[in-house]
Structure 1
Amino acid sequence: MSTEQTTPADGFSYKLTRTLDAPAVKVWRAWTTPEQYAQWAYAAAGSVEMDVRPGGAWKATMVTPDGGQFPLTGSYLEVAENRLLVVGMDVPGKPAPAAMTVELDEQDDQRTQIVLHQTCDTAGERDMAEQGSTMLLDSLSVFLADEARS
């Protein structure tokens, strides 16, 4: 697995790039299957619902390291199976969802480059979102490695 992290100096966006040791179809399933997503994305078991299609809704209750829980909701803005997910996340008090783009590029039959990027309204929001996305990619990498061994 390789990692690249880029926080552009001009604005409140970030881009994280990793090469995962898994084919794109397995990475896609990890992001779009409620049972798998709950295993690696810090979601409470049984809380994840996904209707993976443009305009389809999703929800999950996330669990913090100290055991706290907070619900998240949103919708899928763009979906191209095994290649692209644009996930809208509802943000209280904001008229439009925050969008996070997940791009998959299969390098060969066993490796996939994943790119996460998001633009936020403030530096603080960007830093929190980037930290959360880094944690997700770390956990996804471990999950996929465990899946490959089983």
Structure 2
Amino acid sequence: MAINDGPRAIADVSVGTILATVTIAVPPERVFRALTADDQIPLWWGSDELYRTTKHTADVRPGGAWRSEGKGVDGREFHVQGEYLKVEPPHLLVLTWKAPWDGDNVTTVTYTLEAVEAGTRLTLRHEGFGAREGACRDHGFGWERVLGWLATFLSDGVGSKPQRVFHCRLIPPRPDFAFTLTDAEKALMKQHSDYLRGKLGEGGVILFGPVADPAGPWGLGIVRANDEAAVRALTDADPTVRSGLGFRYEILPMMTAVM
């Protein structure tokens, strides 16, 4: 599938508002996930020539917080964050936007996704810049690039890259973890299972489950992805890793895989 209508952005500095559009030849559900999922945004938001988003966390519900972190080509780290105001998948997403490079002023971004014959027409409205004409203009240039990255990521050109298979080992915080679970840890492991079960349906995770190692059980995941960065984005979003309790993943590429 091809991109039917390239990204365009117009910054109206007189009212402090940006309007941007792009048409992408995939369904709204796929576009919505690419805009919200922790393991998706680091895969496409950025380029080697400018910057890369390295981590994204989001509680995708009204009132939920989101935050993206990354690193520029000059090595400088950055972040941007906000809060979801409206979440109506797969057609509407409204969030606040607070960036240090804009003086931590709070603006509002609205994504509207419309199903069209060619796939999805995505319309973005970024407002609240007020009299900050330079910031409005710069963000307009930025959004045109961002929507271009998104469209390229979701097109068949990127999706057709040869994928590799990775062995992922989830190491628990203590060797006897599987036998000494607290109630809170049992609830966390259910979240972990639900998270990976959802990834099974998307095709990235091939299988997962506990391994009965005599030295202490650990979790096994077999993942298909373009590169290790994509796998790392997936594992970093695992509720066990995000819990801060000491879980960690070891990721190794498989030399060959027969399936």
Residue equivalent to 2:142: 132
Q: TM-score, normalised by structure 1?
A: 0.86
After the TM superposition, which segments of 4 or more aligned residues of structure 1 sit over 6 Å from their partners? none
RMSD: 2.1
From 5, 8, 19, the equivalent of 1:2 is 5
Q: Percent identity?
A: 27
Residue equivalent to 2:107: 98
Pair 1:56–1:148, CA change in 2 (3 A): same
Q: What residue ranges of structure 1 are gaps of 5+ in the alignment?
A: none
Pair 1:103–1:133, CA change in 2 (3 A): same
Shift of 1:24: 0.5
Pair 1:91–1:9, CA change in 2 (3 A): closer
Distance in 1 (alpha carbons) for counterparts of 2:86 and 2:113:
13
Shift of 1:148: 4.5
Distance in 1 (alpha carbons) for counterparts of 2:63 and 2:72:
28
Determine which structure has greater relative contact order: mean sequence separation of CA pairs < 8 Å that are 6+ residues apart, divided by chain length. 1
Q: TM-score, normalised by structure 2?
A: 0.52
Q: 1:62–1:72: 8 Å Cα contact kept in structure 2?
A: no
The letter of the residue matching 2:31 is V
Count of aligned positions: 147
Provide the secondary structure at the position in 2 that maps to 1:7.
strand
Shift of 1:117: 1.1
Q: What residue ranges of structure 2 are gaps of 5+ in the alignment?
A: 47-51, 162-259
Pair 1:63–1:135, CA change in 2 (3 A): farther
